[in-house]
Structure 1
């Protein structure tokens, strides 16, 4: 990697070069250095850096500005480096799908579009795969929101070449019960807090999740127990129990509204919020978004997960997810990407930004 990134090579070859630079979360420094150096050599871009995040922007005075964003980090390597290209045009390796293929597309567009039809901001950030407190896009939004300003954003997360609009919100609560501890041989002297959790599970089983349509996309919700904690020993009646419930909610609700809905489901129980993140509206009615969907040429869908598009939405920037990788391969030992899909993503985005 001593010669730096070659932004003139084919996008699939560039993907392989990026994959072969180890960049596990919080170890992105080498790759961030290479990205910064490659972009700084392009005279049509202004390049800024914060930690292991690099932002490059055109300044052409166009009527619209589009942000293309992708993270540099990967999950821990699972004996799947260096990359390997097979005879069928499939590139294997850690980060191929999630999401160095998307990053390669960003870099090719940054180098090859000195005069696009819209001003462009390219964001390459760190620590997406770990706790939100370390997330580089969150840090940029807090420290440099002006760097992320735009009329529309595309997060190059893997979507298998489909436009996924917005994202679900997510929150977790603990629904708690209390009892009285006693020896299990004399259980009638105690109150079993785990038994008291039965109505919580019953309400979850009876709950009918909403399906919410926004901009023609349907967001299915989910309310599920994901963890139960309680008990002290094999001969003790437990005096406390907590059921952790995860609510994946449609982006028509704020975090506060979603929390109130959950509190209503568990009325009469102690409900303690442990973490939450807002959803993001798809914004497909925006002219830039509509043009993007038309350029990609496939029906959009709702993002059935939480992604960093929510951070753009919080800044007032409508955003979608679009990338060449298959999301079902993310984080797997068998992670790979079809090189034809990477080239197709570059072609479609280039056409959208030059038509």
Structure 2
């Protein structure tokens, strides 16, 4: 194993061990401290908990972007410090988190196991090392956000505060999308719009149904409208991106002998760049209102040159031949793209790894991502 691969593993272990599902401050402090200690960059942590660093000069900026929050760990992914091997406790090799509790980090068959290894502290560690080691072609930016798992809280706050790199590589998963043992380049991903259809009627005794207005019937009419709508679709740099549209919940009525006066339907729509299903059409039905509860934006890379440069960097970092692909999940790249940053997604996580009780990441793929990020930072912007 090379020295750099050892660094990737060591830094990933350190970051993963720090709890960050409820409070990201300890993880943010560790990232900030590492950047201050190992780089000459201008480093800051904002009031939201986001960590930023900048180095290099030029009119064009490239950001290496990740997040240091995670979803709640499985109980098997937690441990108290007293559970650590004595030698580790004495050396402090696996710590950095809460003095009483931390996340477990295990290793077997060339993979690291633990909450956040795949999503996405492993790729974050790779980005930190690439940021440190690169001789950037322009201004190189590092950003790690809080609250990605809560709908992009940190990214949205940073954008509101003026964070606006020209280009960004977001380190979410892109490995094994187009083939085995390859890290691809995501040039588009879906968003998610969650909405509610609220149907109102007039209650009446069930023995005299015509005396009321049945909210369930109105909701069913609205569901029929949804079923007749086409799911959104788009093409990004030749890559097809298919959305989806589905009713997921329905609730209405209070008693078996009462005509219901209210009924609520929830709709899950996976959006695509530039397209939305015409869900507002349900409001043509009497007594029906439509409300958007969540709208995570999709992402499309609209600069072919940057997409090709990212693919070339990924190709140089591995033996396999990577491809441009689309991703089914929303990421912080959606918020950045919506604000004007040209994005791609390249990261170590594989389909099915994130948020699982046995979440893991390949150490070799982390090293691959480090090489990819480093190469792109040194080649982009192209002269």
CA shift, 1:331, in A, is: 1.1
1:103–1:281: structure 2 CA closer, same or farther, 3 Å change rule? closer
- 3-state SS, counterpart of residue 354 of structure 1: helix
Contact 2:68 2:121 (C-alpha < 8 Å) held by counterparts: yes
CA shift, 1:184, in A, is: 3.4
Q: Which residue of 2 aligns with 1:243?
A: 265
1:271–1:172: structure 2 CA closer, same or farther, 3 Å change rule? farther
Contact 1:39 1:56 (C-alpha < 8 Å) held by counterparts: yes
- For structure 2, list consecutive stretches of 5 or more residues without a partner in the other structure: 78-102, 176-182, 316-321
1:186–1:267: structure 2 CA closer, same or farther, 3 Å change rule? closer
Q: Which residue of 1 aligns with 2:218?
A: 196
CA shift, 1:290, in A, is: 2.2
- 3-state SS, counterpart of residue 272 of structure 1: strand
Aligned partners of 1:339, 1:8: CA distance in 2, in Å? Answer: 7
- Are 2:195 and 1:173 equivalent residues in the alignment? yes
Q: Which residue of 1 aligns with 2:130?
A: 109
Q: Which residue of 2 aligns with 1:120?
A: 140
CA shift, 1:119, in A, is: 2.2
1:282 to 296, 300, 323: 300
CA shift, 1:99, in A, is: 0.4
Aligned partners of 2:267, 2:336: CA distance in 1, in Å? Answer: 26
Aligned positions of 1:128-143 closer than 5 A? 128-132=148-152, 135-143=153-161
CA shift, 1:340, in A, is: 1.6
CA shift, 1:314, in A, is: 2.7
- Are 2:92 and 1:92 equivalent residues in the alignment? no
Aligned partners of 2:303, 2:160: CA distance in 1, in Å? Answer: 27
CA shift, 1:36, in A, is: 0.9
- The number of aligned residues is 336
1:223–1:266: structure 2 CA closer, same or farther, 3 Å change rule? farther
Aligned partners of 2:195, 2:377: CA distance in 1, in Å? Answer: 43
Contact 1:53 1:125 (C-alpha < 8 Å) held by counterparts: yes
What is the TM-score normalised by the length of structure 2? 0.80
CA shift, 1:176, in A, is: 3.1
CA shift, 1:282, in A, is: 2.1
Aligned partners of 1:43, 1:278: CA distance in 2, in Å? Answer: 34
- Are 2:331 and 1:307 equivalent residues in the alignment? yes
CA shift, 1:354, in A, is: 3.3
Q: Which residue of 2 aligns with 1:68?
A: 64
Q: Which residue of 2 aligns with 1:183?
A: 205
Aligned partners of 1:38, 1:317: CA distance in 2, in Å? Answer: 26
Q: Which residue of 2 aligns with 1:21?
A: 18
Q: Which residue of 2 aligns with 1:293?
A: 311
Aligned partners of 2:252, 2:4: CA distance in 1, in Å? Answer: 55
CA shift, 1:66, in A, is: 0.7
Q: Which residue of 1 aligns with 2:100?
A: none
- Are 2:235 and 1:213 equivalent residues in the alignment? yes
Aligned partners of 2:5, 2:348: CA distance in 1, in Å? Answer: 19
Aligned partners of 1:8, 1:224: CA distance in 2, in Å? Answer: 44
CA shift, 1:9, in A, is: 4.5
CA shift, 1:231, in A, is: 1.1
- For structure 1, list consecutive stretches of 5 or more residues without a partner in the other structure: 1-5
Aligned partners of 2:111, 2:38: CA distance in 1, in Å? Answer: 30
- Are 2:281 and 1:264 equivalent residues in the alignment? yes
- Are 2:71 and 1:56 equivalent residues in the alignment? no
Contact 1:284 1:290 (C-alpha < 8 Å) held by counterparts: no
1:260-279 Cα deviation digits (max 9, x unpaired): x2223663353322334363
Moved more, 186-195 or 100-109: 186-195
Aligned partners of 1:188, 1:199: CA distance in 2, in Å? Answer: 17
1:315–1:187: structure 2 CA closer, same or farther, 3 Å change rule? closer
CA shift, 1:170, in A, is: 3.1
- 3-state SS, counterpart of residue 329 of structure 1: coil
Moved more, 153-162 or 163-172: 163-172
Aligned partners of 1:43, 1:274: CA distance in 2, in Å? Answer: 44
Moved more, 199-208 or 326-335: 199-208
